[in-house]
Amino acid sequence: MLVVMEPTANESEIARIVIRLTDAGCHVSRMGMDQVVLGVEGSPRAGAEDALDAEALLALPGVADVTVGGEEYRLAGERVAKERALVELGRGLTIGGERLVVMAGPCSIEDEESLYAIAAGVADAGAGVLRAGAYKPRTSPYRFQGLGEEGLYLLRKAADAYGLLTVSEVMELDQIPLAAHYCDILQVGARNMYNYPLLRELGRCHRPVLLKRGLSATIGEWLSAAEYIMACGNRKVLLCERGIRTYEPATRNTLDLSAVPAVRARSQLPILADPSHGTGRRDHVLPMARAAIAAGADGLLVEAHVEPDRAVSDAAQTISTEALGQLVQQVHRIAEALDRWVFADSG
Ligand code: PEP
Ligand code: MN
């Protein structure tokens, strides 16, 4: 059972509920800052069942909602039937509405010169957000691990020069304040979707979080990961399908586009697709980008570079900035058929 408190509930109102439930023999987990959510587990002692009566709890001061049953992702799925979440990314750019957001850039921040050239190409293509990693989760420890803070600084400068927002990955708790200082959106990579301490800390941060689907995560596990961030106070979560691991070796991962309508049916949160990691092949990025938008995605995360073959990481799946321009044009035409639009400068 979950007891969702009003944002205005005071400590004594919260304590009253906690004491009522623990006195009845249940275990209570408290989550959230501005709006507290109490997770209730265990059966009440004989004779104390009334303490858990949903109607009685709802009647108590400070209680906004009571959910009985195994709803694992109450906040990540709460307004699904009523409205889709519109998440403000910064500088007036929102995601989740009629406008689609394209986030593009190199896998890794490599050096100032290439990053500026890529940022120019990304802005030219009509994308609104510059993506690039400063902390890279590489499979081999001997591979380039990213430029760290220097990279984040370059990312901010290059994005500002071309009026773009920024998204970059965080892998560890102590990277969050630094990344939040330099970036508009913080990314959780596929390998960290199950890193609950990281998700909790991002829940205490004020930046939107782009949460990639884990390599073998079910949609339920992915939405529960979003719930960690939201229950800790940060409701600005974007989901990103980036391919799952299957038996098929022809592509790096299998981009599960059925996840797009499946998520939309279960959650109000914006959903993006990453056709770069989702296929691992440059020549597959454009068709899968088109398909993702046709399937209802709210945006795309694409790896692009001015010299894709020379990209330090993920070169095989990185498209040129010219190809990105074509991608945005084509995606825009598909979007129009769905009464949506994509260009950064049209609104
Ligand atoms: C990335 O976006 O560069 C990345 C490492 O993605 P993923 O976590 O999906 O592998
Ligand atoms: Mn990459």
Q: Which residues, 6 or more positions from 19, have their beta carbon under 8 angstroms from its beta carbon?
A: none
Q: Are strands 165-169 and 129-131 parallel, antiparallel or unpaired?
A: parallel
The answer to whether the CB of 213 is under 6 A from ligand 1 is no
Q: What would the mean pLDDT of 333-346 be, rounded to a whole number?
A: 85
Tell me the C-alpha distance between 55 and 296, whole Å.
Answer: 38
Rounded Cα distance between 266 and 224, Å, is: 12
pLDDT in tens, 32-60: 888 899 999 999 999 999 999 999 999 99
Beta bridge partners of 303: 105
For the chain, the straight-line distance linking the first and the last C-alpha, in angstroms and rounded, comes to: 43
Average pLDDT of the chain to the nearest whole number = 95
Residue 347 pLDDT more than 80? no
CA–CA separation, 328 and 189 (whole Å): 24
pLDDT, residue 93, reads 95
Which of 36, 53, 106, 130 is CA-nearest to residue 344? 130
Q: Is the CB of 261 under 6 A from ligand 1?
A: no
Q: What is the pLDDT of residues 95-110, one digit of tens each?
A: 999 999 999 999 999 9
106 in ligand 1 pocket by Cβ < 6 Å?
A: no
Is 210 close to ligand 1, i.e. is its CB under 6 Å away?
no
| Window from 44-48, 257-261, 331-335 with minimum mean pLDDT | 44-48
pLDDT score of 32: 85
Closest atom of ligand 1 relative to the 301 alpha carbon: 2
Ligand 1 atom nearest the C-alpha of 136 is 5
Instruction: Please check the confidence at residue 70 and state whether its pLDDT lies above 80.
Output: no
| Residue 204 CA to ligand 2 centre (angstroms) | 26
pLDDT band at 346 (very low <50, low <70, confident <90, very high): very low
Q: What is the CA radius of gyration of the chain?
A: 21
Q: What is the pLDDT of residue 269?
A: 97
Q: Is the CB of 275 within 6 Å of ligand 1?
A: no
Judged against a pLDDT cut of 60, whether residue 217 lies above it is answered with yes
Ligand sitting nearest the alpha carbon of 189: 1
pLDDT digits (tens, 9 = 90+) for 2-14: 899 999 999 999 9
pLDDT, tens only, 287-300: 999 999 999 999 99
Among the atoms of ligand 1, which is closest to the Cα of residue 131?
2
Residue 190 Cβ contacting ligand 1 at under 6 Å: yes
Q: Which ligand is nearest to the CA of 314?
A: 2
How many angstroms is it from 243 CA to the middle of ligand 1? 10
Mean pLDDT value of segment 248-253: 97
Q: Which residues pair with 165 in a beta bridge?
A: 129
Which atom of ligand 1 is closest in space to residue 212's alpha carbon?
A: 9
Using CA atoms, how far apart are residues 247 and 229, in angstroms rounded to an integer?
31
Residue nearest to atom 10 of ligand 1 (CA): 190
32 Cα to the center of ligand 2, angstroms: 32
Candidate from 71-80, 249-258, 337-346 with smallest mean pLDDT: 71-80
pLDDT of residue 345: 53
**pLDDT at residue 211, rounded to an integer:** 98
Confidence of residue 75 (pLDDT cuts 50, 70, 90): confident
- Tell me if the pTM is above 0.75: yes
**Which atom of ligand 1 is least distant from the CA of 188?**
8
Query: Distance between CA 264 and CA 122 in Å, rounded?
Result: 28
Copy the structure tokens of residue 139: 């499979």
Q: What number is the average pLDDT over the span 244-249?
A: 98
Which amino acid appears at position 132 of this protein? A
